[in-house]
C-alpha cells in the first residue's frame, strides 16, 4: 500500500488524475472503475481539463461504475448515471456505449447484479478502480457487515449512509433505501486500486481502515490485502495515521 499526501483537495485531485491519466496513456483501451460522491469531482474536473488540452484521450477507454441507487431513473439528477454524465462522460470523448453503470431501474435485482458482474468479467476486469471512502469505512455501497460480500449485489443502506447522503436530496425520506454495488470481491479483483480521501472528518476512519484490524465491520480494511493499492489523501484526512 502506497500513501501519497496532498496538501489540500485540489492537490489530491491532481495527483489522482495524474495516476488515472497515466493508466489511459499506457493502455488507451483500459477499463477504468469509477466512483461518484463529492471526493472524485475535482479529479474528474482535472481529467476534463487535460482532455481539453489534448493531453489525455478517452476514445478507447471503457468504464464501469461501482454502484447505483436502486429505483432511480437515469434522468434523475441524483442517480449515479446522471452524476457520471454531468461530471465526466459528457465532457470528454468517451463513447457512451463504453460506459457502464448498474441499471437502478431493473426490477429483478439478482438478474441485474449477475449481468453486471458478468459484464466486468467479459471486459477482462478492471485495470484501475477509483474509490472514495465512507465515514463508516464503506467502499462502493459495501456497508459494515458480518462478512465481506463477494460479488455485485443489492444492499440496504445503513442509517449513517442515508444521513450522509441526504444533503443531496430534498429530505432524508427521499434517499433511496437500497443500491446495487460491486461486491468487495469484485473490487479486490481490480488490478490496481486508487482510493482518494479528503477532510478531517475522514481522519479517524482512514487510520482505522488502513492501520487497524482487517474486518468486515470496516469494509475498506480489506484493501490492506490487495497488492497494488495507492491512497491519495489530503493532510487533514491523513492526520491520524501512524507516522
Ligand atoms: C460512490 C461510492 C461511495 C463513496 C463514499 C464517499 O460511488 O461508492 O462509497 O465513495 O460514500 O463519498 P464522498 O466522496 O461523498 O465522501
SS3 letters across 162-214: HHHHHHHCCCHHHCCCEEEECCHHHHHCCCEEEEEECCHHHHHHHHHHHHCCC
Q: What is the pLDDT of residue 117?
A: 98
User: What is the spatial distance between Cα 61 and Cα 99, in angstroms, rounded to a whole number?
Assistant: 9
User: What is the spatial distance between Cα 35 and Cα 25, in angstroms, rounded to a whole number?
Assistant: 20
Dihedral over alpha carbons 83, 89, 95, 100 (to 10 degrees): -30
Residue 134 CB–ligand 1 contact under 6 Å: yes
Q: What is the pLDDT of residue 165?
A: 85
Residues 6+ apart with CB under 8 A from 121: none
Residue 137 CB–ligand 1 contact under 6 Å: no
Which residues does the annotation mark as catalytic?
67, 136, 138, 143
Domains of the chain from N-terminus onward: 2-31+40-57+69-126+142-229 (3.40.50.1360)
Number of CB atoms found within 10 A of residue 119's CB: 13
- For atom 1 of ligand 1, the residue with the nearest CA is 36
Residue 202 CB–ligand 1 contact under 6 Å: no
Within 13 Å and on the Cβ side, how many CA atoms surround 47? 28
Distance 164 CA to ligand 1 centre (A): 10
Return the ligand 1 atom nearest residue 161 CA: 11
Residue 176 CB–ligand 1 contact under 6 Å: no
Which backbone phi and psi does 226 adopt, to 5 degrees? -80, 140
Q: What is the pLDDT of residue 33?
A: 99
The pTM score is: 0.97
Which backbone phi and psi does 83 adopt, to 5 degrees? -55, -50
Residue 182's nearest CA partner among 107, 218, 130, 146 is 130
pLDDT tens digits in sequence order for the chain, 243 residues long: 999 999 999 999 999 999 999 999 999 999 999 999 999 999 999 999 999 999 999 999 999 999 999 999 999 999 999 999 999 999 999 999 999 999 999 999 999 999 999 999 999 999 999 999 999 999 999 999 999 999 999 999 888 889 888 988 988 898 999 999 999 999 999 999 999 999 999 999 999 999 999 999 999 999 999 999 999 999 999 999 998
Report residue 201 as a C-alpha cell: 472528518
- Give the residue carrying C-alpha cell 479528503: 198
Distance 35 CA to ligand 1 centre (A): 7
Amino acid at each position: 500500500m502506497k500513501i501519497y499526501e496532498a496538501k489540500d483537495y485540489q492537490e489530491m485531485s491532481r495527483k489522482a488524475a495524474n495516476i488515472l491519466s497515466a493508466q489511459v496513456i499506457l493502455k488507451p483501451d483500459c477499463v477504468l472503475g469509477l466512483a461518484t460522491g463529492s471526493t472524485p469531482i475535482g479529479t474528474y474536473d482535472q481529467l476534463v481539463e487535460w482532455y481539453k488540452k489534448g493531453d489525455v484521450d478517452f476514445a478507447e477507454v471503457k468504464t464501469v461504475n461501482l454502484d447505483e441507487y436502486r429505483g432511480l431513473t437515469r434522468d434523475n439528477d441524483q442517480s449515479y448515471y446522471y452524476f457520471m454524465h454531468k461530471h465526466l462522460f459528457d465532457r470528454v470523448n468517451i463513447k457512451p456505449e463504453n460506459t457502464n453503470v448498474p441499471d437502478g431501474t431493473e426490477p429483478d435485482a439478482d438478474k441485474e447484479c449477475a449481468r453486471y458482474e458478468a459484464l466486468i468479467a467479459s471486459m477482462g476486469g478492471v485495470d484501475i478502480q477509483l474509490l472514495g471512502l465512507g465515514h463508516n469505512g464503506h467502499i462502493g455501497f459495501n456497508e459494515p457487515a458480518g462478512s465481506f460480500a463477494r460479488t455485485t449485489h443489492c444492499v440496504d443502506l445503513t442509517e449513517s449512509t442515508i444521513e450522509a447522503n441526504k444533503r443531496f436530496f430534498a429530505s432524508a425520506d427521499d434517499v433511496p433505501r437500497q443500491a446495487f454495488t460491486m461486491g468487495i470481491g469484485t473490487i479486490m479483483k481490480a488490478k490496481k486500486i486508487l482510493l482518494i480521501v479528503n477532510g478531517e472528518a475522514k481522519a479517524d476512519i482512514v487510520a482505522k481502515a488502513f492501520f487497524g484490524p482487517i474486518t468486515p465491520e470496516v469494509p475498506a480494511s480489506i484493501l490492506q490485502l490487495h497488492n497494488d493499492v495507492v491512497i491519495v489523501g489530503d493532510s487533514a484526512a491523513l492526520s491520524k495515521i501512524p507516522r
